[in-house]
Each structure stands twice: as structure tokens, then as C-alpha cells.
Structure 1
Amino acid sequence: MEFAGRLKEWRAHRRMSQTMLAGEAGISARHLSFLETGRSHPTRGMVLRLADHLAMPLAERNALLASAGFAPHKGNREPREIGDLADPVKNALDLILERHMPFPAVVMNGAYDYVTSNAAYQAMAGVLGVTLGPDVNLLRFLANPAVMHGMLIDGEAVVAALLARARSEAWLQGPQSRLAQILQEIENQPGFSLAATAAPENRPGPVVEIRFRIAGAETGWITTISTFGSPADAYVEGLFIEQFFPADEETAAMFIGN
């Protein structure tokens, strides 16, 4: 997509009028109109200024720069293996995963693709019959009707909470993000539906528990999400760590005992 179309799409996505965006960016509405119709070509500084006021993530800023003929402002590299990450990032991930043992923890990218995990998560996935790898999208996997109604207990509530969070993240990532495309695929898949009562705001308790059976026993979990503060790399910006904490003594005992 060319710069003019991409800029207009993002402005509409953020529900900003030309007058509003122009005012925040300190330019005239006429100038912005010329940029959106291709009658004017932006400077690199103008591209970054508009990206700032549109709150675009790093990957999308790079795409906007590229569409205007400029080099990326920040790294846009997507490593194929965890070992390809810069040492400070990899070391931080390794430390979090290791220190969370004996409970499960997993690292995903911004589209919910599996990146890496600790031994407890790998063991749990193995018992559940889940094959982990870079081609596994955990959002798509959990929202599969067979998994939602089979492996998960009260699966609609779990998936509804997960999708609500993913929709908020997709709004931040943009209309052309891979996460937005995955969400659309999930909601259009045959047999997919969620009862209104499954929505997070209609559930009791402060958080929605994730419950599923492991080796014949029912386990309950609550999770936390961690991200890197002030990332300067587009790929690192999308990484997040999900840590599982036992929701009851029986679940804790099952993992501590192992």
C-alpha cells in the first residue's frame, strides 16, 4: 500500500478527522489532505510525526516509512529462533521462564505465535497432546471449537476473555496486522460461536480462570502478561510472556510434586 492510502487508513482506524490529526501534528488540514491524496510527498520527519500522533506501533511505523520511500526507523527484524534475539532480551526471557518453574510460562509474539516456553509449559502441552513450534498459533488453537468444547472446561468463557484481550491488542496494532487477520479467521470459522454469558464482564470473580484436565485431573489457572518496557525493536515490542499461576491448592500440588 502506498503512503497516502496507508496514512488515510490509519487515521480512519484511529477515528480521527483530518482536522483533528492535523491540529495534533501541528500542520494544516490542507497539508494533510494533500498527503492523503498523494499531491504532496512527506519528509521523513513528517512521517514520524504523524506516526507518533496516530500511536502506531514500531512495525507499522516502519511500514509507513517504507511506503514513503524511507529506511526503517527501528529494527524490524523477525528472528526465526529464540537464540537470534539480542543477548539482553534473550537473557531476560530465560530468567523469567526459569524462575517461574515449576509452573508453566510461555513467550508469544504479537500475533500469539509460539516463541518459547519453560519445561513446565512444555510438559503440560505434551500431556494435552499439543505439539509446540514456531508454526503454532496459540490463539487460533484455543479458539478451535473442538479444543474450546473438549480440552477446556467452560471453554467459551476462557476464549471470550482471550479474544476480548486480543481485539484490544489488534486495535493498537492496526487494521492490517496479522493479529487482526487471525481474529477475523477465527470469528468466520464454521461452528464458532460464543454465548453472551461467556463475556468476561458477565463472569463472576475478579479474573476468568483457565481450567482444563491434565492426566485425568481438573486444573485451574490464572495468568499474568508481561512485556518489555520501552522497546526499540519492532519484534521485541510484540513479545509477551504469559505466566500461569495455580488457582487452587490441588493444581499447585500437582506441579510442585513433579
Structure 2
Amino acid sequence: MSADPPVGELLREWRRRRRLSQLDLAIQAGVSSRHVSFVETGRTMPSRPMVLRLAEHLGVPLRERNRLLVAAGYAPIFQNRPLDSADMAAAREALEGILRGHEPNPALVVDRRWNLLLANSAADVFLDGVAPALLEPPVNMMRLGLHPDGFAPRVVNLEQVRSYFLPRLARQAMRTGDPYLSELHEELVAYGPPGDAAPPDPAEIALPIRVRHRGAELAFINTITTFGAAFDITLEEVAVEAYLPADPATARALRSGDDGAPATGDRRTWR
């Protein structure tokens, strides 16, 4: 395995990814542009506080901040504890509480790569009828949603959904610098480009995801919840994806169980 580039090169890469000049970064971080230049070219080795300060103003994810610290010759400081570890019990309990609170609406927890970690029983609306191979852990929800053998064939407005989620995934890949997300984006694009999607209905408040499920058409709007001020890598990277009914008919179906899933049930772990 090849060694990481020097810390200056890594910082320059993040600055360019954020489309900032050296002067922009210097002003935000409260240092001179000359100092930023010297750090990037390797003429100055930044202190650990300086690495962390520049990383903070560049919005570098915690996982990558550890990489910057190591490249500068310092020990990593951000831990990466599994969600099922004792130290993460409070966070996991909070996530499970959020999932319970969303029932009978579908809600699930994903990691930074869209792999499914937890789900409530109502999330079966997205898991029902997909190819068994796609349900082998880790279950990737982006892949599950856009794969021809996933629930994509049941998405009524698939072209609109693709035109929204594919650019979102591309931006995430660019923002995080994660090669896995870039590869996932290329894979999903290969299933069919967004094309000329119909513009959203001006009467809508958000782009609905319309799914055929057991003889009914359900419409959802999507929300995302993340932890603020997280200092653990796992906690920073998890997100709750909740799907709220976009019309009264969907709300009634979910409340009554007419969607084919129970109104409440156990939260499940997907590893």
C-alpha cells in the first residue's frame, strides 16, 4: 500500500475541492495566506492545532481529519466506535427511538456510504420483492433504490427520482473524496441516465417518491436527520432517512396497515 501524500498536498486537495483560494482559507482560519502557502508546499510543517483548524474551516470529515493528522506526523484523535459498542449505547438508543417515533412511517439508519444499519418495520415497503442478492449485508439503499432488481421498477416517477438522487450522490462523492461513492455513482448511472425528467409539480412542497406497493400507490417525501457536534467518526457518518406521507391517502394506508406492513413492529439491525 502506498503512503499518503504529505499533509500539505492533502490540505491543498481539500481546499481545491471546496473551491477556495489560499487567501479565502487564510481569512476564514485567521492565518496569513503566506502561511497557508508554506503549509501546502511543505516549507512549513503545521502544528496539530493548525491541522485541525484548517480542517475545520475546510469542512473535512472526521475520518479524513485523522488522515491529515497522521500525514503530519501526529496520532489520530477521533475514535471510530461500532454502533453496537457499549460506548455508543446512548446514540443507538436515540436512533432506535427516532425509528419508533416515525412509525407507522418508514424510517431507516444508513452510514456514510448508504449502507443500511437499522430500520423500522414500515421500511419493508422498500425491501419487499427485491432480489435476494440485494438484501445480502451490507444492503446499500442507493443501489436498492435505483437497481433494476431493486424497488426501482415500483417507483412510478423513477426518472424524477434518478434526476434528484444521482446528482446528490455525485456531490457527496466530491465533498467527501470517497472513491467508493464515486464508483457507486458510476454504477448507478450505468443503469440508465436521468434523461429528461419531468419538472416537479409546482403544487408539491418537495419531490415526492411514488412507489407501487401491493396494489396501492404510496407517495413519500424524504427527510434526513444527523447528529450535530459529533466527535466520533461513526456518529458523524450516520443519518436517519425518514419517509413521510406526501398525501392523505398514503397516511391513511400507513396508519391502517393497508400498505401490507404492520403499523408498528421491531426495529431491525442490518450489518
Q: Does 1:20 align with 2:19?
A: no
Q: Does 1:158 align with 2:157?
A: no
Deviation digits for residues 102-159 of structure 1 (CA, Å, limit 9, x no counterpart): 22111111221111101111x3244233654541211123233565762211101112
Distance in 2, Cα, partners of 1:26 & 1:223:
38
Deviation digits for residues 145-195 of structure 1 (CA, Å, limit 9, x no counterpart): 5657622111011122223433444444x22364344224433x2x42112
Comparing 64-73 with 90-99, which one deviates more in the overlay?
64-73
Task: Report the AA paired with residue 248 of structure 2.
Answer: E
Task: Report the AA paired with residue 153 of structure 1.
Answer: V
Instruction: Name the counterpart of 2:242.
Output: 243
Distance in 2, Cα, partners of 1:211 & 1:43:
52
Task: Report the AA paired with residue 157 of structure 1.
Answer: Q
Kept in 2: contact 1:105–1:117 (CA 8 A): yes
Q: Does 1:203 align with 2:200?
A: yes
Q: Does 1:7 align with 2:11?
A: yes
Q: Percent identity?
A: 36
Structure 2 gaps, min length 5: 258-271
Deviation digits for residues 18-60 of structure 1 (CA, Å, limit 9, x no counterpart): 2332343333333322322223322111101111221212222
Distance in 2, Cα, partners of 1:125 & 1:197:
22
Instruction: Choose which of 86, 90, 93 in structure 1 pairs with 2:92.
Output: 90
Kept in 2: contact 1:148–1:159 (CA 8 A): no
Q: CA deviation at 1:242?
A: 1.3
Q: Does 1:29 align with 2:28?
A: no
Relative distance call for 1:15 and 1:160 in structure 2 (3 A) is same
Superposed CA RMSD: 2.4
Partner SS, residue 59 of structure 1: helix
Distance in 1, Cα, partners of 2:192 & 2:249:
32
Distance in 2, Cα, partners of 1:210 & 1:130:
20
Distance in 1, Cα, partners of 2:152 & 2:116:
22
Instruction: Name the counterpart of 1:224.
Output: 223
Relative distance call for 1:19 and 1:127 in structure 2 (3 A) is closer
| Pairing 1:32-111 to 2, within 5 Å after superposition | 32-77=36-81, 79=82, 82-84=83-85, 86-111=88-113
Kept in 1: contact 2:52–2:65 (CA 8 A): yes
Comparing 141-150 with 112-121, which one deviates more in the overlay?
141-150
Distance in 2, Cα, partners of 1:57 & 1:29:
23
Distance in 2, Cα, partners of 1:99 & 1:49:
37
Aligned length: 248
Instruction: Name the counterpart of 2:192.
Output: 192
Kept in 2: contact 1:62–1:76 (CA 8 A): no
Distance in 2, Cα, partners of 1:133 & 1:116:
14
Relative distance call for 1:157 and 1:146 in structure 2 (3 A) is farther
Deviation digits for residues 44-99 of structure 1 (CA, Å, limit 9, x no counterpart): 1110111122121222212211221222232234x2xx423611101111111112
Distance in 2, Cα, partners of 1:67 & 1:97:
39
Instruction: Name the counterpart of 1:140.
Output: 143
Structure 1 gaps, min length 5: none
Distance in 2, Cα, partners of 1:176 & 1:216:
39
